[in-house]
Amino acid sequence: MYRVAILGATGLVGRTMIQVLEARQFPVSDLVLLASEKSAGEQIRFKNKAYTVQTPSKEIFETVDIALFSAGASVSKVWAKVAADAGAIVIDNSSAFRMEPNVPLVVPEVNPEKIFTSEGSIAPIIANPNCSTIQMVVVLKPLHDAYRIKRVVVSTYQSVTGKGKKGLEALEAEIAGKKFETYTHFHPIAFNVVPQVDEFTENGYTKEEMKMINETKKIMGDESIEVSPTTVRVPVYGGHSEAVNIEFEKPFELADVFRLLEQAEGVTVVDNPAERKYPLPIEAYGKDDVFVGRIRRDLSRENALNLWIVADNLRKGAATNAVQIAEKLVGKLEPKTLSV
């Protein structure tokens, strides 16, 4: 049993982490909920018990075994090292450490071995990848192992919950006909599509798109994989969707692609065009798997494949992936509570 802390407990992802810990029956001996002073004193229920939100401190982390962070990069940069130095294993959902060479970037279905250092110890800080990257690499992994991927072209259709509470509030206010003064999505999002997720960089790609490029290479352990992304915000409450084109080095049989994906950990194939069955965000909402369908050859290019990938961005794209990383520590991390 582990003493688990959640930093950012009152946000959408933080609250989802609490739900996932309970749903997956993670061995929690005690739950420590942390957030800003504004949220301190708020109560959140976990396993029929009310827990009071506190502000973070070094002393608190000294009693914690596993700390799940979901309070943004600026907060993680302040508290992650404090928590790790205090002996907690930090699983960070922000972008703060993802591309740090010595920090593993982990999707448990793809590279769980990276949780541990070359000496066999647990990495003190483990980064949780970007939501759009997570769902894509879960599907890419078995295909890369079989056929070796040369290039990926991906367009995303990302839920407003990717911007947290403000993203959801903006959509709801606009649907109700109210003016939402904070342009969370850069433009009105209700009845609209915005081809910008995060800020632009000098090369014309957004930060979100660059995350997909760089994180995919790091997680897959292959710098040769080319990724060309376009990320788009859509007026959907929950669930990210992706249209993905993959070019392989080796030829493939479509039946083998279906077999590989049907056998892949964490993947559910939904593909029956005759009955109009394919992954939908409304059906992936609240689930932990990654759903894939519309599996078909690219008729314009040899050894290329088209896919449609959908996942709940708050669960597999964030909270569930973090908890799955924590599950890999069970039995390998000695709880502090046993020695107190």
Write down the pLDDT at residue 182. 62
Q: CA 11 → CA 14, 95, 165, 301, distances in Å?
A: 5, 16, 7, 44
- Could you give the 3-state DSSP secondary structure of residue 51? strand
User: Are the CB atoms for 336 and 263 separated by under 8 Å?
Assistant: no
**Structure letter (DSSP) for residue 277:** B
How many CA atoms does the CB half-sphere of 218 hold within 13 Å? 24
Write down the pLDDT at residue 118. 83
Q: Beta strands 240-248 and 304-311: pairing type? A: antiparallel
Write down the pLDDT at residue 207. 98
Residues serving a catalytic function are 131, 240
Q: Give the Cα separation of 131 and 314 in Å (integer).
A: 8
Contacts of 331 (CB under 8 A, 6+ apart): none
Q: Domains in the chain, ordered, with CATH?
A: 2-128+319-339 (3.40.50.720), 132-313 (3.30.360.10)
Written as one letter, the residue type at 283 is E
User: Are the CB atoms for 94 and 119 separated by under 8 Å?
Assistant: no
User: Are the CB atoms for 312 and 13 separated by under 8 Å?
Assistant: no
Let me know if 7 is exposed, middle or buried by CB neighbors in 10 A (0-12, 13-18, 19+): buried
Write down the pLDDT at residue 338. 44
Q: Beta strands 304-311 and 43-46: pairing type? A: unpaired
**pTM score of the predicted model:** 0.95
| pLDDT values of the chain reduced to their tens digit, one per residue, 340 residues | 999 999 999 999 999 999 999 999 999 999 999 999 999 999 999 999 999 999 999 999 999 999 999 999 999 999 999 999 999 999 999 999 999 999 999 999 999 999 998 888 999 999 999 999 999 999 999 999 999 999 999 999 999 999 999 999 999 999 999 877 666 899 999 999 999 999 999 999 999 999 999 999 999 999 999 999 999 999 999 999 999 999 999 999 999 999 999 999 999 999 999 999 999 999 999 999 999 999 999 999 999 999 999 999 999 999 999 999 999 999 999 998 544 3
